[in-house]
Amino acid sequence: MPSLVCGFSAGVLQVVPLVKSFSCCLVIPLSAFIALILEQKSTNNFNIISAKKAVMIGLFTGIFAAVFGSFFEILITFITKQNDIIITFPELQKMVGNFPVTEDIKKEVLHLFQNVRNDILTTGFSWLYTFSLVINDFFIDILFGITGGLIGSQIINNRNNNSKYK
């Protein structure tokens, strides 16, 4: 349950316009850390957290963040027919244009993204965009969730040890 709550919150933070511009690499690890604290409070068990448990909570926080993040992103794109790809496309064109590479490569890259952009503008959905979004979300959120779980468990255990000896 704590993983679900924190994963949902992190997933929403990754998607909501404006809020996501404040997001950083600490959002998912922090969610896993908060999930560990909530887990301890909900079970009233303040013993040492095992690394296995920390990894599991981090993993599920990451999975829930990825599921909700991807779902809301796809849904918002479908409804509004707008997303970061559309907004940043002129910037991408400019950036690709400035690279010291051959014109063929530039055309190839821009053609690929022009297709994605057209699909989103007309139907609100692109298979390529959805595929890369889901893969990215799951890979990053799970990786950062597990890392956050491991680091978080060490911080909590360390703090609990210190307070025991006071």
Q: Is 159 in the site for other proteins (CB under 8 A)?
A: yes
Among 42, 45, 46, 51, the residue binding other proteins under the rule CB under 8 A is 51
Q: Is 50 in the site for other proteins (CB under 8 A)?
A: yes
Q: Is 132 in the site for other proteins (CB under 8 A)?
A: yes
Q: Is 133 in the site for other proteins (CB under 8 A)?
A: yes
φ, ψ of residue 124 in degrees (nearest 5): 80, 10
Q: Is 47 in the site for other proteins (CB under 8 A)?
A: no
Closest of 29, 6, 1 to residue 153, by C-alpha: 29
* Cβ contact 57:36 at 8 Å: yes
Q: Which is nearer to other proteins, 27 or 63 (CB)?
A: 27
Among 98, 164, 165, 166, the residue binding other proteins under the rule CB under 8 A is 98
C-alpha–C-alpha distance, residues 140 and 90, integer Å:
26
Closest of 12, 135, 25 to residue 65, by C-alpha: 12
Q: Is 87 in the site for other proteins (CB under 8 A)?
A: no
Q: Is 44 in the site for other proteins (CB under 8 A)?
A: no
Task: Classify the C-alpha dihedral 97-102-107-110 as positive or negative.
Answer: negative
Q: Is 123 exposed, middle or buried (0-12, 13-18, 19+ CB in 10 A)?
A: exposed
Q: Is 96 in the site for other proteins (CB under 8 A)?
A: yes
Q: Is 12 in the site for other proteins (CB under 8 A)?
A: no
Q: Is 8 in the site for other proteins (CB under 8 A)?
A: no
Q: Is 159 exposed, middle or buried (0-12, 13-18, 19+ CB in 10 A)?
A: exposed
Q: Which residues of this protein are in contact with other proteins, per CB under 8 A?
A: 14, 20-25, 27-28, 50-52, 54-55, 69, 84, 92, 96, 98-102, 105-106, 108-109, 112-113, 132-133, 136-137, 139-141, 144, 147, 150-151, 153-155, 158-159, 161-162
